[in-house]
Structure 1
Amino acid sequence: MVKRIVVENPVDPKILGDALTFPTSKKVAKNRFMKAPLSENLAKWDPTNPAISGAASNLHVNLYEKWAAGGFGIVLTGNIMVDQMHLESPGNTIITKELDLPHRREIWKNLASKAKQHGTLIVAQISHAGRQTALIVNQHPFSSSDVQLKRDAYGREYGVPIALTEEQIKTEIIEKFVYTSKVLYECGFDGVELHGAHGYLIAQFLSRTTNKRTDKYGGSPQNRARIVTEIYEAIRKEIPESTGFIVGIKLNSVEFQREGLTNEEAIQIAKEIDNVGFDFIELSGGTYEEMGFSHKKKSTIAREAFFLEFAEKIKLAIKSAVVYLTGGFRTVPGMVKAVECKGTDGIGLGRPITQDMDFPIKILNGTVQSAVESPFGDDLASNGLACNCQMAQAGLFPYSPDKPLTDGVMDITDEKTLKEFKRAQNEFMQNIIRKMIGKQFYHGIVPYRLNGQGKDFVIEADGLEISLLLRTALCAFLVFLKFQSYMC
């Protein structure tokens, strides 16, 4: 029996079933639920083999069709990278001019077609990691300024970034976002979401922590938002609003760090973005340096959503765009309250729906009032590894109306399953350390219940510099020790 968060006072979920109309594209989401972006890490990465590096596969098709069948009004993909040298992580999917091959497009066409058969809108999150590009991918990535990310919340390190010139902003950033958007439009997607949160490149322009520019892209919040409006206008030049193509953006509502984006600045930036014509704004918060996916104050726990108090203020300033809020929603009472208090129009769901792929259907038909209870609490690392494994498990088999959407997906609340997964996770981390000592980069998904296909989800690379090797191995070892405490 799946264990769920206890809800003492159930409420009517009816309001969550309301349709939402996007102001510019005029597309309609059938309800308020958004499947929020999650990094799948299911693509291969081999810079020497363009045919496979960053290519989507049937794993992605199966996974997203199941979420579409799960009742979401809108389904967003995980990061699709617009530049093969600026990845969030090896394992991302990539769409660029250099890697634009017919067989790669066919997968995206198939994914869009199957998702749309279930009455959902399928929207791609497109992204450029900027200074948050993994060191193994690029030692000198582009950014708004040359402010290096010393380390993130997990102790990983990054290269020294190169500040983009105004010409490079046009050729290396804007044109690449446009190209990726156009490919997705031609493949049948309903729209794109620019990733402007969590410290990625667009967020690096928006935040004073990383934007030290003195030209037209720096200084005031309006200037820092200029790159966003220029990307939008360039996309609309190629894909006019008359096509019905959705363009949205994910923004931080706040950053919890020195010189980080304040809520007041986020309000000003959101106004600029709303005025230019974006269909929706998805609000989140935090960066690699200071994660926001937990409650910062005890007083906010009752509000459930991590960023609701900040989102309420931003939404008051939005005149047209649909607002989604992602982060922390776990119960129907929490979701309903957030909508009723006008803190958000839509509900973004991420981690809870890798096991509960039909969570919206269950909520709207009155079957459940809450999400599955995670045994890992607010531990992002453990939750992330479990979610990645569940996504891989879901992708192994195609959608079938005769089987549960979660067929083959582990129930992490089952004690026996949890014990087995922790053991597999422990062995996985030990393997990372062994590979690092052997001067190999090793990245992948915990090989648990993957039908013998565990090796298909692993990326290895030789030739790491010894200084990088030792740092990475040490970080992996520290994470490994942290995981040890979960062993039964």
Structure 2
Amino acid sequence: MGSISFSSPSMNKAEGIPYFTPANNAGAAANPESPDTPTLFRPLQIRNVTLKNRVIVAPMCMYSAESDPTSPAVGAFTDYHIAHLGHLATKGVGLVITEAVAVQPNGRISPNDAGLWQEGTESEQFKGLRRVVNFAHSQGAKIAIQLAHAGRKASTVSPWLASQRNKRSVKADESVGGWPSNVVGPSGGEEHIWASDDQFWAPRELTTDEVEEIVRAFARSAELSVKAGVDVIEIHGAHGYLIHQFLSPVTNQRTDKYGGNFENRIRIVSEVAAAIRDVIPTGMPLLLRISATEWLEKQNVAAQTGSWDLDSSIELAKRLPDLGIDFLDVSSGGNHKDQRIEPHTNYQIDLAGQIRSKIHADGQKTLVGAVGFITEAESARDIVQGAEEAHANEAMLSGQEPKADAVLMARQFLREPEWVLNAAKKLGVKISVPFQFARGLL
């Protein structure tokens, strides 16, 4: 009589963690080269990193890090972040992007935000990040860190505390770990408060030397991220945070090398990208998230100063290869209280599609990600279908030009952490599943 032989569980142990779990790789298509496999479940190559599918977890602030500025663990990822991000990695996403991680203490949105400004690999911030990275890798997912600075939108309390007062935001003062005297922006003064009704602090204007130090801070955090094992780095240049504030003439009234014309306003992006590229491996992907438009085109403020709009984003996108940026993560809005957004299912996806179409028409192959109101498997499939080079001709013949090369989702994963597994089932794609969940999924 024959017998069935099982390998010792230790032979399948995932690396990098001090306890046993089999090395999982959920979400990978069983036959990715099959013509029946939709692009959504085909691998995506970005420099030397290959994502097993084109589903990306967009950054989501959790406001769950230590806030006590005297604690060595201030700003560090905790067990909560392992549970939150690790669960999504277990359920089959191709890439997990962490929440915004501040490169300086005053770059946090709230005192409870994550940071990576502490020096050295023995810091609590570094060790917390490495634990999250190692667990994500044990589940077969790639992980990115989003490096950020909140600028004038900093030093507020967590949103659920604000909601208890029926406000969008509430200022955080020193009593709760805030830094009201060190909220900064490209331009300063009461006229540059993000929103009125006593919800945000007035920023002070950064000096030129301070801007240059912020550029170096991005590089230091990137270097630590590499040491922690991160696969991908994303620069946060969207949603009215510091880099976006520099890009926009609405919030950037500077007269030095970082203000004025388009070239000067995008200088911080080029310098941050160059500084990061200098300290990360050549094969590591670098992403940039932008707000493709501020939704101010018909508002008085734009008539006075101009605004950051779709044409501005297209012009920036055309320069990304020279900046060493491989992937453009396209969002929108967040830089001025007068923005007028009329959300509908494809309102940001169409922006991504327009940028991708324009740069491809110029022969540029920067990858583009779409985000916003993506909830259904069929819509995610259609956004990226045919995006890979091998299917370019087929896509053109069918008249269905892809809107993006990957989809990013955030809130849908809060509602449905197993979205990738469910999407594969809906689309008839056979994928791998985590060993521990197999009895309930197969």
What's the TM-score bracket when you normalise by the shorter of the two chains? Answer: 0.7 to 0.9
| 1:323 match: secondary structure | strand
Q: Say whether 1:168 aligns with 2:210.
A: yes
Q: Say whether 1:401 aligns with 2:436.
A: yes
Deviation at 1:366, TM superposition (A): 2.2
Q: Say whether 1:27 aligns with 2:49.
A: yes
Residues 221-236 of structure 1 aligned to structure 2 (within 5 Å): 221-236=262-277
Deviation at 1:275, TM superposition (A): 2.8
Between the aligned partners of 1:105 and 1:313, the Cα distance in structure 2 is 38
Deviation at 1:288, TM superposition (A): 5.4
Between the aligned partners of 2:350 and 2:337, the Cα distance in structure 1 is 18
Q: 1:362 aligns with which of 392, 417, 422?
A: 422
Deviation at 1:186, TM superposition (A): 0.3
Residues 61-72 of structure 1 aligned to structure 2 (within 5 Å): 61-72=82-93
Residues 415-430 of structure 1 aligned to structure 2 (within 5 Å): none
Deviation at 1:281, TM superposition (A): 1.1
AA of the residue aligned to 1:343: K
1:324 match = 369
Residues 28-427 of structure 1 aligned to structure 2 (within 5 Å): 28-49=50-71, 51-97=72-118, 101-134=122-155, 135=171, 136=173, 137-139=178-180, 140-146=182-188, 148-152=191-195, 157-171=199-213, 173-241=214-282, 244-257=283-296, 258-259=301-302, 260-287=307-334, 289-290=336-337, 296=342, 301=344, 304-318=345-359, 319-340=364-385, 341-366=401-426, 401-402=436-437
| 1:85 match: secondary structure | helix
Aligned-pair identity in percent equals 26
CA spacing shift, 1:275–1:291, aligned 2, 3 Å = farther
CA spacing shift, 1:317–1:289, aligned 2, 3 Å = same
Contact 2:330 2:351 in 1 (8 A): no
Listed one character per residue, the Cα deviations across residues 432-484 of structure 1 (whole Å, up to 9, x for unaligned) are xxxxxxxxxxxxxxxxxxxxxxxxxxxxxxxxxxxxxxxxxxxxxxxxxxxxx
CA spacing shift, 1:99–1:186, aligned 2, 3 Å = closer
| 1:169 match: secondary structure | helix
AA of the residue aligned to 2:374: F
Listed one character per residue, the Cα deviations across residues 390-418 of structure 1 (whole Å, up to 9, x for unaligned) are xxxxxxxxx9925999xxxxxxxxxxxxx
| 1:160 match: secondary structure | coil
Segments of 5+ residues of structure 1 without an aligned counterpart are 1-11, 370-398, 406-488
Between the aligned partners of 1:273 and 1:133, the Cα distance in structure 2 is 28
AA of the residue aligned to 1:150: I
Between the aligned partners of 1:28 and 1:275, the Cα distance in structure 2 is 22
Contact 1:222 1:269 in 2 (8 A): no
CA spacing shift, 1:220–1:274, aligned 2, 3 Å = farther
Listed one character per residue, the Cα deviations across residues 107-128 of structure 1 (whole Å, up to 9, x for unaligned) are 2222111101222210011110
Between the aligned partners of 1:100 and 1:138, the Cα distance in structure 2 is 26
Listed one character per residue, the Cα deviations across residues 113-164 of structure 1 (whole Å, up to 9, x for unaligned) are 11012222100111101111124223242211226443549x5522222222
Between the aligned partners of 1:352 and 1:368, the Cα distance in structure 2 is 21
AA of the residue aligned to 1:251: I
Between the aligned partners of 1:283 and 1:93, the Cα distance in structure 2 is 23
| 1:78 match: secondary structure | strand
Between the aligned partners of 1:252 and 1:271, the Cα distance in structure 2 is 15
2:41 match = 17
CA spacing shift, 1:54–1:103, aligned 2, 3 Å = closer
Listed one character per residue, the Cα deviations across residues 195-250 of structure 1 (whole Å, up to 9, x for unaligned) are 10000000001111101123332233332111111111111212231xx3221111
2:22 match = none
Between the aligned partners of 1:231 and 1:358, the Cα distance in structure 2 is 35
CA spacing shift, 1:252–1:118, aligned 2, 3 Å = same
Between the aligned partners of 1:34 and 1:336, the Cα distance in structure 2 is 13
Deviation at 1:312, TM superposition (A): 1.9
Between the aligned partners of 2:311 and 2:75, the Cα distance in structure 1 is 37
AA of the residue aligned to 1:332: A
CA spacing shift, 1:89–1:99, aligned 2, 3 Å = farther
AA of the residue aligned to 1:338: I
1:419 match = none
Listed one character per residue, the Cα deviations across residues 156-192 of structure 1 (whole Å, up to 9, x for unaligned) are 5222222222222111x11111111111110111121
AA of the residue aligned to 1:83: Q
What is the TM-score when the length of structure 2 is the normalising length?
A: 0.73
AA of the residue aligned to 2:76: A
Between the aligned partners of 1:290 and 1:211, the Cα distance in structure 2 is 15
- The Cα RMSD (Å) is 2.8
Between the aligned partners of 1:109 and 1:28, the Cα distance in structure 2 is 20
Contact 2:183 2:202 in 1 (8 A): yes
Between the aligned partners of 2:67 and 2:217, the Cα distance in structure 1 is 20
Between the aligned partners of 1:288 and 1:248, the Cα distance in structure 2 is 20
Deviation at 1:89, TM superposition (A): 1.5
Between the aligned partners of 2:439 and 2:315, the Cα distance in structure 1 is 45
Deviation at 1:356, TM superposition (A): 1.2
What is the TM-score when the length of structure 1 is the normalising length?
A: 0.67
1:457 match = none
1:466 match = none
Contact 1:174 1:231 in 2 (8 A): yes
CA spacing shift, 1:346–1:367, aligned 2, 3 Å = closer
Contact 1:83 1:95 in 2 (8 A): yes
Task: Name the count of aligned residue pairs.
Answer: 353
Contact 1:34 1:72 in 2 (8 A): yes
